[in-house]
Structure 1
Amino acid sequence: MSSLVCEGPAMSSSSPDEVLARKGRLKQRYDNEYRLVAGCVPYRVKKDEGNPCSLGDDRGQVEVLMISTPNRTDMVFPKGGWEDDEDVYQAACREAMEEAGVKGTIDRTTLGHWVFKSKSSQQSSSPRGACKGYIFAMEVIEELESWPEQATHGRRWVSPGEAYQLCRYDWMREALTALLERFSMIEAVGSAQELTDQNGVYMMLQTTSDGAVALC
């Protein structure tokens, strides 16, 4: 299992002191008609006071970070378009910074790979308008006081139990379950796969879940 420390991927900026979220889809990656997206489940571990190196058996020691979206009461994990000048891990890190204002260490072994379809295209067999998304675990090491999409995305640390209640889509609960499996908090139900991207060639691996409904 390998990891990557996020070091602030390149983003649009109008001045050296201002970091802006990327806009538009000029650099967007596609796999045939599927738009490719990347995201993460940001988390932190509360160390046992008696043993700072121990995770412990209490599931509440792990917290995950979720973000709000306008006019909704449920919450999501950060994700967005994977662009052609970055690998999938950098894309996931960038989305976490843009939407949640956090940086951290991302695990290169994916929590899962899902197909996202809008509600309007859910009954269609065509990939047009759908996305393929890859979600990773990211241990947060820095929280920014301000971030590019702060006006539209608030952030909130929650327990795994609360996260399950707040998750908007099934794929989110499945990704959260995969994260908790890594801490041996729940019985493992499957294995994750690692993605590779060499010379710009996108390699498809085994799908953990398929057909989850989400808005791209």
Structure 2
Amino acid sequence: MSSSLQARTGRLLQRYENQFRLVAGCIPYRLKQNVENKTGDLLRKLEVLMISSPNRHDLVFPKGGWEKDETVREAASREALEEAGVRGIIHDALLGIWEFRSKTKQKLCGQEGACRGYIFAMETMEELEFWPEQATHERKWLNVWEAWKLCRYEWMREALSSLSVFLTGQPLLLLAVAEVTEPTPLFCLLKPSSTERVDSAINALC
């Protein structure tokens, strides 16, 4: 039963590299079938899933610690299940690798709270009625323009644009959003153009 699923806790198996906590996540997506789309623009049919965080008004994509007994794609899939209650296909193509600081360590200096996130696209196949972290994470399906406005950090917008490139071949062309999201030290480390480059980057850590 889905209601009996439990989320992993603790960090005994957490992966680290050069003082960075390794994180895996994904952007769950689906294509709406009942949308009139005479132009054939795939973005008009695209929806992405975001989740809430405790005591916050904005939304995030599911992600969490990559542990030693799983592959990075298994970790991304597990986090989507635990936090958002969805199962699906994690694509081989990596949307990107970003370095950022965890939300509780934003004001600190040095490496404390530094994370390196591996973000994938996940085609959603199943949406559970109950999931492990349902009490702390509500989920919401949004079109890409709505999701763009709600992204907490710039790296999330970069990941969303990478998803657009992956699915349509084109980056998101959006007007600048008036509301400024939280600044955070970040930079895109890698946006591979082939599965081979993705695998070589990941295998170096395994």
TM-score band by shorter chain is 0.7 to 0.9
Residue 69 of structure 1 is matched in structure 2 by: 53
Q: CA deviation at 1:32?
A: 2.3
The unaligned stretches of length 5 or more in structure 2 are 174-190
Paired with 1:146 and 1:17, the residues of 2 have a C-alpha distance of 5
Residue 202 of structure 1 pairs with residue 202 of structure 2: no
- Percent identity at matched positions? 52
- Paired residue secondary structure (1:108): strand
| Distance change (3 Å), C-alpha of 1:50 and 1:98 | same
Residue 33 of structure 1 is matched in structure 2 by: 19
Residue 119 of structure 1 pairs with residue 119 of structure 2: no
Task: Please give the TM-score of this superposition, normalised by the length of structure 1.
Answer: 0.76
Q: Which has the higher helix share?
A: 2
Q: CA deviation at 1:183?
A: 2.6
Paired with 1:55 and 1:21, the residues of 2 have a C-alpha distance of 42
Q: CA deviation at 1:55?
A: 9.8
Q: CA deviation at 1:59?
A: 2.0
Residue 63 of structure 2 is matched in structure 1 by: 79
| Distance change (3 Å), C-alpha of 1:188 and 1:170 | closer
Paired with 1:152 and 1:55, the residues of 2 have a C-alpha distance of 39
Residue 18 of structure 1 is matched in structure 2 by: 4
Query: 1:44-63 counterparts in 2 under 5 A?
Result: 44-47=30-33, 56-63=40-47
- Paired residue secondary structure (2:107): helix
Residue 143 of structure 1 is matched in structure 2 by: 127
Contact in 2 for aligned 1:104/1:139 (Cα 8 Å): yes
Q: CA deviation at 1:187?
A: 4.1
Residue 160 of structure 2 is matched in structure 1 by: 176
Paired with 2:80 and 2:39, the residues of 1 have a C-alpha distance of 24
Residue 185 of structure 2 is matched in structure 1 by: none
Q: Deviations 1:27-74 (Å, cap 9, x if unpaired)? A: 0000021110000000001237799xx992152200000001112111
Q: Deviations 1:175-196 (Å, cap 9, x if unpaired)? A: 0000011232634896545134
The residue identity in structure 2 corresponding to 1:202 is: L
The residue identity in structure 2 corresponding to 1:33 is: Q
Q: Deviations 1:114-154 (Å, cap 9, x if unpaired)? A: 11113123xx3x33321111000000000000000000000
Paired with 1:99 and 1:170, the residues of 2 have a C-alpha distance of 21
Residue 153 of structure 1 is matched in structure 2 by: 137
Paired with 1:120 and 1:173, the residues of 2 have a C-alpha distance of 22
Paired with 1:146 and 1:55, the residues of 2 have a C-alpha distance of 37
Q: Deviations 1:84-111 (Å, cap 9, x if unpaired)? A: 0001000000000000000000112110
- Paired residue secondary structure (2:145): helix
Contact in 2 for aligned 1:64/1:158 (Cα 8 Å): yes
Residue 166 of structure 1 is matched in structure 2 by: 150
- Paired residue secondary structure (1:109): strand
| Distance change (3 Å), C-alpha of 1:101 and 1:194 | same
- Paired residue secondary structure (1:156): strand
Residue 129 of structure 1 is matched in structure 2 by: 113
The residue identity in structure 2 corresponding to 1:108 is: D
